[in-house]
Chain A
Amino acid sequence: MLIQVCGPGCASCTKAETIVKGAVAEAGVTATVEKVSDFAAMAKLGILSTPSVIIDGQIKCVGKVPNKDEVLAWIKKP
């Protein structure tokens, strides 16, 4: 599973990354968490506002910091 957290490096984007990593650890799932800070890459992924979370190419949340339960739900969905 590839999880990409998009954000230019501001406080909330960093927070989103921390939450995602925490959720991954808690769920015990094998996943790579990647921080995307490059704007060109973000644009290619179709992201218009940050922070954003993309799991295996699917955009899960845009423009807000997700809470841990939301992330767990996304990870556990088959």
Chain B
Amino acid sequence: METPLDPPCACDTAQTPAPAALHRPLFTRAVSTLLLLVLWFVVYHQLEPLSRFLAFDLTGLTPESRGGSALQFFLYDTPKVLMLLALVIYGVGIIRTFFTPEKTRAILAGKSEAVGNVLASLLGIVTPFCSCSAVPLFIGFVTVGVPLGVTFSFLIAAPMVNEIALVLLYGLLGWKIAALYLATGLLVAMVAGWVIGRLSMERHIEGWVTEIRTSIDSTPDQRISWDERFRAGREAVIDIVGKVWIYVIAGIAIGAGIHGYVPEGFMASIMGKSAWWSVPVAVVIGVPMYSNAAGIVPIIHALLEKGAALGTVLAFMMSVIALSLPEMVILRKVLRPALIAVFIGVVASGILLVGYLFNLVI
């Protein structure tokens, strides 16, 4: 779950709200959650008609006009995306209470490499992870015997395949593209991690890390009640949506502008399929950039509409999210430059391949 540009850390800075609702019976909690879900669906299906009403009937603009179509795009997508985000973050927030870095570590320790790469990538999606925890997590993993490559699979999957990116892709581009991003993101994480493991770069971990001795039992298991799980879901929504909503709106506004005002096919010349160099350029530009998915996806949606090729655009998005300068700076504390270079190189290559593949196939 990654956010703003300035602090390298993406952890929430909002204080977790004090527990207002006391321990309600599980039944009441379940029923009220169900009712809210129903309400959510009803409102969700009214969004498009409502946006057309507001954008065209009230203002007198037509769907064919630039202003009209931009406005309708904005009025439909903004509440749609925010509602989707709230729903998915709530659900994922609850799911994440079942997974902790400690449990993940226990599962991965001692697994053979290929199996480990697959598991680590999958666990990276559901284990709560914040980029400033990258170092403690890295140390914690390698010192109990999780292979280096497997640890990297986790570190690649966790930021890249996050629920915000998936929800936004689904909401703005449809489930097929969201599923493709999920599948290729996992693939890149698994293969890149495996490749790094094969390169036997353990010597390039900073010396002081390998001198630490830790044991898996050092952290006690924290028992969580269902009430706390629901609370975790609520807090996740308040924290994350509270941080990204402004980026979502800004991104959708820019997307709406592109949607309404940029001519069709405009992007085809620079980001289209025929520009073979567009994929590497997209990756090169994306790698040092760091942004959250919330701001990037709406822009990507609009670019695609105007003729940019899917592979180029996905490659750009993955490079922005998966690799970032702040993250490399943090990892420098535990990894020697050669290993960081390999990390960036392998992941960037994977993304490059995905980009080309998509441009060829789709």
Interface residues of chain A, those whose CB is within 8 Å of chain B, are 6-8, 10-13, 15, 19, 39-40, 42-51, 58-59, 62-70
Which B residues are CB-close (under 8 A) to A13?
A: 9, 11, 132
Query: For the complex, would chain B's binding face be called helix, strand, loop or mixed by DSSP majority?
Result: loop
The chain B residue sitting closest to A15, CB to CB, is: B13
B16 touches which of A8, A44, A50, A64 (Cβ 8 Å): A64
Q: Does B218 contact A (CB under 8 A)?
A: yes
Contacting residues, chain B, for A62 (C-beta < 8 A): 100-102, 219, 222
A12 and B9 form a contact (CB under 8 A): yes
Residues of B within 8 A of A43 (CB): 136, 139-140, 143, 209, 212, 214
Query: Cβ of B17 and Cβ of A48 under 8 Å apart?
Result: no
Residues of B within 8 A of A40 (CB): 139, 208-209, 212
A-B complex: 7 closest residue pairs judged by Cβ atoms:
A10-B9, A46-B218, A49-B133, A48-B101, A12-B11, A48-B140, A43-B139
B204: interface (CB < 8 Å)? no
**Structural contact, A50 and B140, CB atoms closer than 8 A:** no
Quick one: given A11-B7, A59-B219, A68-B18, are A50 and B13 in contact (CB under 8 Å)? no
In the complex, whether B270 has a CB less than 8 A from a CB of chain A is: no
Of the candidates A44, A51, A59, A65, which one forms a contact with B220 in the assembled complex, judged by CB atoms under 8 Å apart?
A59
Q: Do residues A65 and B132 form an inter-chain contact, with CB atoms below 8 A?
A: no
Given contact pairs A8-B9, A48-B101, a sample of 16 additional A-B residue pairs in the complex whose CB atoms are under 8 Å apart: A7-B132, A11-B7, A11-B11, A12-B9, A15-B15, A39-B333, A40-B209, A43-B140, A46-B140, A48-B100, A48-B102, A48-B105, A49-B136, A62-B219, A65-B15, A68-B18
Q: Are A66 and B16 in contact (CB under 8 A)?
A: yes
Tell me, in angstroms, the Cα distance from A65 to B101 when the chains sit together: 16
Q: Does B148 contact A (CB under 8 A)?
A: no
In the bound assembly, the distance between CA atoms of A67 and B101 in angstroms comes to 21
A50 adjacent to B18 (CB under 8 Å) = no
Query: CB within 8 A of A10: which of B8, B137, B140, B333?
Result: B8
A49 touches B8 (CB 8 A): no
Give the docked Cα–Cα distance between A45 and B42 (Å).
49
Known pairs A39-B334, A48-B102; A11 contacts B218 (CB<8 A): no
B129 at the interface (CB under 8 A from A): yes
A46 touches B219 (CB 8 A): yes
| Separation of A52 and B208 alpha carbons in the complex (Å) | 22
B251 at the interface (CB under 8 A from A): no
Nearest CB of chain A from residue B135's CB, rounded to whole Å: 5
Find out whether the CB atom of B16 lies under 8 angstroms from the CB atom of A67: yes
B9, B18, B212, most chain A CB atoms within 10 A: B9
B 8-30 binary contact with A (CB < 8 Å = 1; else 0): 11011111111100000000000
**Chain B nearest Cβ from A19, distance in angstroms:** 7
Q: Which residue of A lies closest to B129 (CB)?
A: A49
Task: Collect the chain B residues with CB atoms within 8 Å of residue A12's CB.
Answer: 9, 11-13, 130, 132
Docked pose: A45 CA to B212 CA in angstroms:
11
Give A13 to B105 CA distance when docked, in angstroms: 23
Closest to B137 in A: A48
**B14 contact set on A, CB distance < 8 A:** 65
**In the assembled complex, which residues on chain B have CB atoms less than 8 Å from the CB atom of A47?**
136, 140, 219
